[in-house]
């Protein structure tokens, strides 16, 4: 049974004393210390890998070149890397193909992509600037940093599980978590992975162990079109779409104290061919999210009602022709929560206590949605450093503090593998 968010937050407050001692011993062991030293020595190498990977365009649905680049880097570090049928890169450190496995994952795709190499650059203060440098260049660079140190054998060879690294496709936009869906449900590895540690973006300040459900819709309105003067009065799809957006956004969706948080966003609006033509079609795409699955259903019904009302009004006002609408779901991310007996949150809390990290529990939409919706053990965390401007042309990443995030990832993996 998945724990509610408040219960997870309370569990998050008290690291177990036994686990604290185990982390202290692990961090002082020779293998872990050698990895920490390698993180420090390889700082410049990791930064260079980070910049190089971000210069390989990887918009959602077109991640092939970056996947091939990542696979080549894993192979160069001594890992056996394959690209699966979904386009995910899966890398193994040894000959174990039977499992069980602990998967460390990061998504390949970005919302925006560089057009030129110089679009991804280093600023005067050492910050990286450019599309995807934070989301998810930070996570992919961390996969490479972990891969580079794993031969130091930070954990004993006789562990109960083996590590695999996964650079997956389809996390952003209309990718609909396709890479993680395949990994968890259709891949030959699906029944062999017992834990997922998902790296998404920078930082160390959060632990996402509650999956935020979402649904994405496309509203398409079509009409006869025409000339702006001679056909004036024809039903206009853009007018109808604008009215539908107005009707929907003027509704009150309570987000007060104690209520499940919800959100909506019209992210794309398209229509028309010229300023003096009545459009024959107009289209909008929007995203609905909520901590409560029933609230998403309420939002979806409100959207349908707003579109129907807008069509009726536009057709009543029309002097010629009519408009019609089609509402189509283009994506859905399931909600879910961490199972009550999951070890990963207590492990992370003990690691954070050892490293002096103060992280908060949150609910968000990430690749972890898929395993969490299936009752599997998964969390999503940042990969260290700091960043901002994700999904905008002003995206940035500061590698200062990256090593702390890498230590956090390494120690958590060691605990999961040895359990």
Which comes out higher in pLDDT, residue 65 or 2?
A: 65
Mean pLDDT value of segment 297-315: 97
Place of tokens 């901002």: 388
Q: State the Cα–Cα distance between residues 51 and 120, nearest whole angstrom.
A: 7
Over the stretch 347-396, which tens digit does the pLDDT of each residue have? 999 999 999 999 999 999 999 999 999 999 999 999 999 999 999 999 99
pLDDT for residue 324 is more than 80? yes
Asked if 206 and 115 touch (Cβ cutoff 8 Å), the reply is no
pLDDT at 259: 74
**Quick one: pLDDT band at residue 193, thresholds 50, 70, 90?**
very high
**Exposure string for 282-312, b = 16+ CB within 10 A, e = fewer:** bbbbbbbbbbeeebbeebeebbbebbeebbe
Assign 82 a pLDDT band (cuts: 50, 70, 90): very high
Residue 121, classed as helix, strand or coil, is strand
pLDDT the model gives residue 251:
85
User: ω before 139 within 30° of 0 (cis)?
Assistant: no
Residue 151 has pLDDT above 90, yes or no: no
Question: What is the DSSP pairing of strand 101-107 with strand 162-168?
Answer: parallel
What's the confidence (pLDDT) of residue 152? 73
Confidence of residue 72 (pLDDT cuts 50, 70, 90): very high
At residue 257, the pLDDT reads 65
Domain boundaries, the chain: 5-211+335-418, 214-333
Instruction: Note the CATH number of domain 214-333.
Output: 3.30.70.360
pLDDT of 345 higher than 80: yes
The yes-or-no answer to whether 5-211+335-418 and 214-333 have a common fold is: no
What residues does 227 pair with on adjacent strands? 277
Q: Is the pLDDT of residue 325 over 90?
A: yes
On the question of pLDDT at 120 being above 80, the answer is yes
Residue written as token pair 């987000």: 255
Superfamily of domain 5-211+335-418: Zn peptidases (3.40.630.10)
> Angle at Cα 186 formed by Cα 180 and Cα 187, nearest 5°?
80
DSSP secondary-structure letter at 203?
Answer: B
Distance separating alpha carbons of residues 385 and 401, to the nearest angstrom: 4
From first CA to last CA, the distance across the chain in angstroms is: 21
Summarize the confidence of residues 264-291 as an average pLDDT. Answer: 96
CA distance 199 to 197: 7
């Amino acid at each position: 049974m998945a724990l509610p968010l408040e219960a997870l937050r309370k569990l998050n407050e008290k690291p177990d004393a036994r686990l604290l001692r185990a982390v202290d011993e692990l961090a002082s062991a020779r293998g872990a210390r050698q990895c920490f030293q390698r993180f420090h020595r390889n700082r410049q190498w990791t930064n260079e890998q980070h910049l190089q990977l971000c210069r390989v365009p990887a918009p959602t649905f077109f991640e092939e070149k970056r996947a091939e680049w990542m696979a080549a880097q894993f192979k160069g570090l001594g890992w056996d890397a394959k690209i699966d049928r979904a386009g995910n890169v899966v890398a193994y450190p040894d000959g174990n193909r039977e499992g069980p496995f602990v998967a460390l994952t990061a998504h390949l795709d970005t919302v925006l992509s560089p057009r030129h190499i110089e679009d991804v650059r280093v600023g005067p203060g050492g910050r990286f600037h450019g599309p995807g440098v934070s989301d998810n260049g930070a996570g992919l660079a961390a996969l490479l940093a972990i891969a580079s140190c794993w031969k130091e054998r930070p954990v004993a060879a006789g562990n109960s599980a083996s590590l695999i690294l996964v650079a997956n496709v389809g996390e952003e936009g209309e990718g609909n978590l396709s890479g993680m869906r395949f990994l968890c449900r259709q891949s030959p590895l699906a029944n062999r992975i017992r834990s997922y540690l998902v790296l998404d973006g920078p930082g160390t300040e959060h632990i996402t162990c509650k999956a935020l459900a979402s649904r994405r819709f496309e509203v398409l309105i079509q009409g006869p079109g025409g000339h702006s003067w001679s056909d004036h009065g024809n039903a206009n799809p853009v007018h109808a779409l604008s009215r539908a957006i107005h009707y929907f956004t003027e509704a009150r969706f309570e987000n007060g104290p104690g209520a499940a948080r919800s959100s909506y966003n019209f992210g794309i609006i398209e229509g028309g061919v010229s300023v003096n033509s009545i459009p024959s079609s107009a289209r909008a795409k929007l995203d609905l999210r909520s901590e409560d699955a029933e609230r998403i259903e309420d939002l979806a019904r409100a959207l349908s009602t707003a579109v129907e009302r807008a069509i009726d009004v536009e057709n009543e006002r029309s002097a010629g022709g009519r408009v019609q609408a089609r509402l189509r779901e283009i994506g859905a991310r399931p909600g879910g929560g961490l199972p009550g007996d999951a070890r990963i949150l207590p492990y992370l809390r003990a690691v954070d206590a050892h490293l002096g990290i103060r992280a908060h529990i949150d609910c968000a939409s990430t690749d972890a949605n898929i395993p969490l919706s299936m009752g599997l053990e998964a969390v999503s965390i940042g990969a260290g450093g700091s960043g901002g401007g994700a999904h905008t042309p002003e995206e940035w990443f500061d590698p200062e503090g990256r090593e702390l995030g890498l230590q956090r990832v390494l120690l958590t993996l060691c605990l999961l593998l040895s359990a």
